[in-house]
Amino acid sequence: MTSNKEKNADTLRKTPNDELVRLSIKEFGQVSKKPIVLVLDNLRSMHNVGSAFRTADAFLVEKIVLCGITATPPHREIHKTALGATDTVEWVYEAETSTALQKLKENGWKIILIEQIDQSITLQDFSYLPEEKYAFVFGNEVFGISEEILELADACLEIPQFGSKHSLNVSVSMGVILWDYFLKTNA
């Protein structure tokens, strides 16, 4: 009797890195980006910052805004998870998240907080408008989004969860939100 492992050995194989279609750093710089900005509000983990860069690269995010205590490149702990994405994804630092969001609003960006609040919209119920530019705001791993920026939000999204924990890791949340955007906009 032949096992599934033996059957699949002839038909399945991992794609080697040299066969994956990857943009060079130069090509990445020239390709059109999605109208998305990630705003990191006082993230404390450099690994989460690095993951934000890597995820932003994967989804062609226009820019990352690092705010408050959020660490900035170059740093080996960020590089460890970013795997070079700090060289491809544009980023800026702003000391105050509220200042960063005000600047984005003035330039036509819709401010979307990713947080659990009394007026949040569940992710599956949110629709993206094709003509809008979205700034997704992700908060501190322990305290979430800063209270003072709630009033700047155009909307607040909540990712439904069904287990005993009350939150996802911020880097996982970024991936979920960006994948949802791509699915709904056919980007």
Other residues' Cβ atoms within 10 Å of the Cβ of residue 68: 17
Nearest-CA neighbor of 42 among 179, 186, 170, 177? 170
Q: Which domains does the chain have, with CATH numbers?
A: 24-185 (3.40.1280.10)
Tens digits of residue pLDDT in 144-186: 999 999 999 999 999 999 999 889 999 999 999 999 999 999 8
pLDDT at res. 67: 98
pLDDT at 7: 58
Query: Rg of the chain over CA atoms, in angstroms?
Result: 18
pTM of the model: 0.91
Q: Strand, helix or coil at 47? A: helix
CA dist., res. 18 & res. 39, Å (int): 33
For residue 122, what are the contacts with CB-CB under 8 A and spacing of at least 6? 157, 158, 159, 160
Q: What is the per-residue pLDDT for 166?
A: 85
Which residue ranges in the chain fall short of pLDDT 50? none
Omega of the bond prior to 74 within 30 degrees of 0, cis?
yes
Residue 2: its pLDDT value, please? 57
